[in-house]
Copies of this chain bind each other. A is one copy, B any other.
Amino acid sequence: MSDAAIHAVDQVVTLEPTGENTVRGRTVEAWANMVGPFGGTTAATMLNAVLQHPQRLGDPLALTLNYAGPVADGEFEIEARPVRTNRSNQHWMLEMRQGGEVVTTATALTGLRRETWSETEAVPPEVPAPEDLKVATSFRTVKWLENYDMRFVSGDMVAADQGSAGGDSAGGAAGGAESSTTTMWIRDVPERALDHLSLTALCDSFFPRAFLRLGRPVPTGTVTLTIHYLATADEIAAQGSDFLLGSVHANRFHANYHDESAQLWSRDGTLLATANQLMYFKS
């Protein structure tokens, strides 16, 4: 099978074992970001080093990715160590290296799940169906966005541009949108049945909140991302290739850093995951 026949998500997470706890992979051009690959696929690739480890117990519960340095185009090695295996869960520590230098670190938690009392207290935003919204195209300045069908409900980059009145930088007015919230439908292009890998990448698919509030692109970068998988594997599989509803906002922008808090929902109101990240920004 040629590469073209393999979905871009499956291409980017492909890893070849090189030792008991080590695997080798390589970046994929289809996921190119401004510098290096899209961070969502780096997260998915790290997760896959856990998923394909022969000692893995259960499904992903949590993943924290730390983007330590730029990932260069080309090969990388991932070391994924199961540092503690309990009866129903397992703790992992991971490092991605290139040329002997650590470029990404992570911890992951996998586990078995059983039925308990269940309730979703959070409420998804009320939104039009994705079929009633336009496919976002105008902001496609980076390659990886071509792998997604995004349909903005609110808080797209056009809104940010329109809000801009030339306000600027340090200590000054923001000049962008009044709210950092973006709500959008999103799915893979071409369509692909959702799994923990694609869900992980989707958790990092929101553009930086600083762009929206400042009304213009500024230097930014995710430094750390934590995903909590609140849905079971069955619920994730039930999603098929349908759109997910993502909503994200920032709580505070201050002194080079801002947070981002996201929820990812299925169309039928299942809260699949939360993603909390800390981003570096300059203004």
A254 to B257, CA, bound (A): 32
Listed stretches A100-108, A136-144, A153-161; interface member = A100-108
Q: Which of B121, B180, B257 contacts A113, CB < 8 Å?
A: B257
Asked if B61 and A116 sit within 8 Å, CB to CB, the answer is no
A101 to B118, CA, bound (A): 33
Q: Is A259 interfacial (CB-CB < 8 Å)? A: yes
With a cutoff of 8 Å between Cβ atoms, the chain B residues found around residue A106 in the complex are 107
Listed stretches A4-12, A25-33, A47-55, A274-282; interface member = A274-282
A: residues with CB less than 8 A from B are: 61-62, 64, 66, 68-69, 83-84, 86, 88-89, 91, 93, 95, 101-103, 105-107, 109, 111, 113-122, 169-172, 174, 179-180, 213-214, 223-224, 226, 228, 230-232, 249-259, 261, 263, 271, 274, 276, 278, 280-283
Contact sample, A vs B, 30 pairs, CB 8 Å cutoff: A61-B257, A62-B66, A64-B107, A83-B95, A84-B102, A84-B105, A89-B223, A109-B223, A113-B256, A113-B257, A114-B255, A115-B255, A116-B282, A117-B169, A117-B174, A117-B253, A117-B283, A118-B254, A119-B253, A120-B253, A121-B213, A121-B252, A121-B253, A122-B251, A224-B226, A224-B228, A226-B226, A228-B278, A232-B255, A251-B263
